[in-house]
């Protein structure tokens, strides 16, 4: 049984969404940051950074959402959610994954850090307009890169689609401007039943833990 540690709408959502897409058994362990769960001895033994998501698959413990999703798709995907290695599609897949993490998500995380994640003394609101400028620049590039196909690699959904959709959802919560093709892609992905299932499952666990 796979256990996912996190909060419902953090980067853990990428993992819970993929787990539901894969249709495998898993359970959710809510990490309540307000109560300091992420600083507990048990959790820090799994991830010394105190960040989520973390998964435990038998004896294996993994951190970092992109790496976790890659592992899960390789082990449980049965040939789905990842392109064939060494193909042009694989090249485009790796290009998208790198771009999403390094270019599109990075300014969003800068916003998050300087709004709420960093200790107050380390927050510098003056950096926020720069982060918005960086996001707008990356979003414009992504808009032009987006193919005229249902998904990034053609007609089949991949891990990269989940990563991009979640990043755009995050940008929407942060009230950033999303170009039209990217917005349509986000809306299409948000209609996938696996996303609704992941949110329902994780939010139910979080609500119960908060009682």
**140-167 residue pLDDT tens:** 999 999 999 999 999 999 999 999 999 9
Question: Tell me, what's the pLDDT at 175?
Answer: 98
* Backbone region of residue 50 per phi and psi (left: phi > 0; alpha: psi in -120 to 50; beta: other values): left
Q: What is the mean pLDDT of the chain?
A: 97
Does 20 have pLDDT greater than 90? yes
Which CATH superfamily, name and number, covers 2-80+194-210?
Answer: Glutaredoxin (3.40.30.10)
Cis peptide before 120 (omega within 30 of 0): no
Average pLDDT of span 64-74: 98
More confident residue, 209 or 23: 23
Q: How far is Cα 12 from Cα 118, in angstroms, rounded to an integer?
A: 19
Sketch the domain layout of the chain as residue ranges. Answer: 2-80+194-210, 88-156+158-191
Question: Tell me, what's the pLDDT at 203?
Answer: 97
CA distances from 151 to 7, 71, 78, 92, 131 (A): 27, 21, 19, 12, 27
Residue 211 binned pLDDT confidence (cut-offs 50, 70, 90): confident
Average pLDDT of span 13-40: 96
Does 82 have pLDDT greater than 80? yes
Instruction: Please count the residues of the chain.
Output: 211
CATH class of the 88-156+158-191 domain in this structure: mainly alpha
Using the structure block, give the residue that is written with the tokens 């809510």: 30
Does 202 have pLDDT greater than 80? yes
Does 209 have pLDDT greater than 90? no
Question: Tell me, what's the pLDDT at 79?
Answer: 93
Residue 68 binned pLDDT confidence (cut-offs 50, 70, 90): very high
Residue 195 binned pLDDT confidence (cut-offs 50, 70, 90): very high
Does 210 have pLDDT greater than 80? no
């Amino acid at each position: 049984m796979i256990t996912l540690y996190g909060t419902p709408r953090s980067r853990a959502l990428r993992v819970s969404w993929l787990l539901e897409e894969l249709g495998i058994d898993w359970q959710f362990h809510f990490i309540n940051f307000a109560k300091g769960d992420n600083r507990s001895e048990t959790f820090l033994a799994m991830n010394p950074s105190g960040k989520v998501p973390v998964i435990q698959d038998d004896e294996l413990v993994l951190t970092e959402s992109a790496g976790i999703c890659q592992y899960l798709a390789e082990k449980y995907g049965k040939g789905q959610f990842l392109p064939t290695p060494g193909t042009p599609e694989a090249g485009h897949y790796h290009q998208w994954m790198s771009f999403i993490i390094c270019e599109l998500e990075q300014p969003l995380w800068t916003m998050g850090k300087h709004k709420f994640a960093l200790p107050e003394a380390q927050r510098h609101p003056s950096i926020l307009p720069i982060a918005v400028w960086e996001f707008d620049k990356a979003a414009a590039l992504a808009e032009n890169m987006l193919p005229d196909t249902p998904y990034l690699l053609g007609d089949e959904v991949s891990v990269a689609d989940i990563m991009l959709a979640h990043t755009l959802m995050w940008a929407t919560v942060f009230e950033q401007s999303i170009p039209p093709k990217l917005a349509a892609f986000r809306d299409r992905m948000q209609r996938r039943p696996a996303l609704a299932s992941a949110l329902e499952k994780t939010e139910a666990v979080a609500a119960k833990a908060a009682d």
